[in-house]
Structure 1
Amino acid sequence: MNRISILFLAFLLVLISCKIKKTEEIKEIKSKEPSKKISTKADNVSILKKTFVIDGLNTIAHKVWLYLPPNYHTSTEKYDVIYMHDAQNLFDDATSFVGEWEIDETLNDLYKKTGKSFIVVGIENGGEKRIEEYTPWENVRYGGGKGKIYVDFLVNKLKPYIDKNYRTKPDAENTAIIGSSLGGLISFYGGLKYPEVFGKIGALSTSFWFSNKVITFAEENGNQKKTKLYLLVGDKEGNSMVPDTENMAELLIDLGFPSQNLKTKVHPDGKHTESFWKAEFLEVITFLFNLENNERTNN
């Protein structure tokens, strides 16, 4: 074998070795990459083509998710509507933070069992702007305080758009606002501030701690006679979550809020997680929309 052949063979071996090493490195990198989540949303969940930039809030184009009942396109029925926050976490594991609420699976199953249907409107949070969107008052440490702008958008822009383009029952008695954590706070605020729009409130693991001004707000707006309110908190959420929730319930009753319209649940194993709120969602809407009595009537 001549010298040129030897050099060529050596070069070829080096090239093959480099390719093998590069392939192994790529495999190692890919093995360390997080696996891509698979979409789990049902076929009757979509994202509106129209996005909403909320004047005075921020410059984020907020996406709106829409759950339509399984029988929506085969009927002329009008539906109760549930407005919810943190839409990324409601329907799809692929977009969720640490797991979805499975709102679509829960409601699809409810429809199969009872025939009861809802429209759900989920508004995506603004990511790092979430705190300011879901808090009506400022916190010295965490900032925030633009929640009024967000709620006014729901009332004056989004709800009219939904009522115009979809078959809804627009009255307050047929409209709920539900959220958790800061989403629970903004639901509590929005429902009491606009009882003529939202007749039902689901305030789950509500961050009443965020501002003491929530007490004054409740004193000024808590004497509602027709609003229904579900307060949920877990005993393992830590800090002052349980006493804050129980104290708020007592305050509202003292103010004249009808006791039959208010349910407070302290779950002994409840934690501040999506899995907790997912497990409790059906019970929340069962109380708010009186589903047990409706089911007995239908039967």
Structure 2
Amino acid sequence: MRRLFLATALWIAIGLTAIAQVTFTITEVPGNTPAGATIYAAGNFNGWDEGASDFALAAQPDGTYTLTFEPEPGTLMFKFTRGSWATVEGNADGGFLPNRSLEYPGGVLEVDLEILSWEGDSPGNSTAADNVTVIAEDFYMPQLDRDRRIWVYLPPDYNSSTATYPVLYMQDGQNLFDAATAAFGEWEVDESLNTLFEEGDAGVIVVGIDNGGSSRLDEYSPWVNPSYGGGEGDAYVDFIVETLKPYIDAQYRTRPERDFTGIMGSSMGGLISLYAAIEHQDVFSKAGVFSASFWFADECYAHVGNQGKQEDMRIYMIAGEQEGSSEQQVVDMLAMEQALLAAGFSVSEINTVGHPDGTHSEWYWRREFPPAYEWLFAAIASDLQEGNLNMERVEVYPNPGSDTVEIRWDSADPLNIRVFTMQGKQVRLIQPEGQQMSLTGLPAGTYLIGFYLENGQCVGTKRLIQK
């Protein structure tokens, strides 16, 4: 009987020590918290899902909020939100709050916490430069039947010049310009580009596309990962190419040709950026691929080989040796470099950089953005600064055009003319005789005419409407 008692006591003791249970109790919330708001925990214990229903805190009669869950022992990194990173908690001043950190040894743990503010709710909290605007909070994505916030950064001289600019499309828009919307810190893309402009850079337009929160993994991979999702990447890229890019080219003074169009992102955003560049080499000529999540889908390597090199490209890849518990991120990047070389891209088209101190975080990508941008766009810097036509003295008529249009320009140099769709795809290459250009067979729509010297330098662009 004594043995039975001891055995039972031992199993009870083992069972108690094996319990893994953490309870968060939020004792105070900001006074401006909307009535009936649901508060969520997002952290490394749930894939940083900012609105996961299983991690919604329960409102208690005494005004507190509680959540009990069963994480693995270790360091818990987390934040609280009201369902999206746009409503993440902030510091006492309403600004950026670093991730919370809690060492959890296992067993039963109860923690009392306070939420000091909701980031971005305090007036004047934005860190975005004056030349950054949100052009739409709800830009419609017909390919996915969703809405998305879109940001645009314009060069400092955009409103005081008639210049046209290359365009860089970037993922995770909420993390690029404004600490008030960046849950993990911002890239400071606007500050970096404004500084480079002051140092002589010709400027670039940056289009930031917010990620879809809970749809982020689905949208940022065309391939399905059985554990994490994916599969909507083609539709997302089609949105950029077929809907967003035509809109940006129509609304702003862009250079829509592929030579002046790049795409960039980090983590899953790096995966989808490289996919877009390889899949649409007729649209993009540059890709910034930061800490790409190639692990998410092994198919990404075969995709590069299947597509092969179709156009000259510039691909800048970085990874840090401190990303995770090993150097796997760097190993994956080097494997992708080999896949690109095997597909026909040259060593000069690929810049692969590993950093011993690099971590999977915004501070690292913020630091590495300027050199990546300068390398990607270095090849066209002289084109943007030298030899531009006075486009006010370029005549294209009739415009709207019919079967034939006349073109006159204020230049003694012989020029070649290329005609592009508003998506940046070249549809005509013409060496005009007598400054006449035939448009026979060109479908009705809006096009861009590019004027090129014999050495390939673009010296100006002009819009054309074909009836």
Tell me the TM-score normalised to structure 1 length: 0.85
Secondary structure of 2:371's aligned partner: helix
Kept after mapping to 1: 8 A contact 2:137/2:148: no
Judged with a 3 Å threshold, the aligned counterparts in structure 2 of structure 1 residues 291 and 218 are, in CA distance, closer, same or farther, namely closer
Which residue does the alignment assign to 1:236?
322
The match for 1:124 is 210
Q: Is the 8 A contact 1:57 1:133 kept in 2?
A: no
Is the CA contact 1:224–1:257 (under 8 Å) kept in the aligned structure 2? no
Q: State how far apart, in whole Å, the 2-side matches of 1:163 and 1:53 are.
A: 17
Larger Cα Rg: Structure 1 or Structure 2?
A: 2
User: For 1:279, what is the secondary structure of its paired residue?
Assistant: helix
SS at match of 1:65: strand
Q: Secondary structure of 1:77's partner?
A: coil
Q: Does 1:33 align with 2:119?
A: no
Structure 2 letter corresponding to 1:189: Y
The structural deviation recorded for 1:144 is 1.3
Q: Which of residues 244, 247, 264 in structure 1 aligns to 2:335?
A: 247
Match of 1:268 among 352, 356, 379: 356
What are the residue-to-residue correspondences of 1:83-102 with 2, within 5 Å? 83-102=169-188
Q: Which among 152, 158, 166 is matched to residue 252 of structure 2? A: 166
How do 1:60-209 and structure 2 match up within 5 A? 61-209=147-295
Check conservation: 1:98, 1:274, Cα contact below 8 A. Answer: yes
Instruction: Classify the secondary structure of the residue corresponding to 1:265.
Output: strand
Aligned length: 269
My pick for the range that moved more, 101-110 or 210-219, is 210-219
CA distance in 1, matches of 2:214, 2:253: 34
Aligned AA (1:42)? A
Stretches of 4+ aligned residues off by more than 6 angstroms:
none
Name the counterpart of 1:44.
Answer: 131
Structure 1 distance, partners of 2:194, 2:261, is 19
Q: Which amino acid aligns with 2:348?
A: Q
| Cα distance in 1 for residues equivalent to 2:318 and 2:186 | 18
The CA deviation string for residues 168-213 of structure 1, in whole angstroms up to 9 with x for no partner, is: 0001110100000000000000000001111100011000000111
Indicate how the Cα distance of structure 1 residues 115 and 241 shifts in structure 2: closer, same or farther if over 3 A, else same: closer
2:142 corresponds to: 55
Q: Percent identity?
A: 43
> What amino acid does structure 1 have at the position aligned with 2:116?
P
TM-aligned CA distance change 1:56 to 1:74, over 3 Å:
closer
**Equivalent residue of 1:289, what SS?**
helix
Q: Deviations over 1:93-150 (max 9, x none)?
A: 0000110000000011111111421100001111111111111100010011100000
SS at match of 1:52: strand
Shift of 1:160: 0.4
Give distance in 1, aligned partners of 2:361 and 2:380.
27
The answer to which structure has the higher strand fraction is 2
Structure 1 contact 79–118 (Cα < 8 Å) conserved: yes
- Matched residue type, 2:186: E
The one-letter code sitting in structure 2 at the alignment partner of 1:274 is E
Q: Cα RMSD over matched residues?
A: 2.1
For the 8 Å contact 1:286–1:292, the answer to whether it is kept is: no
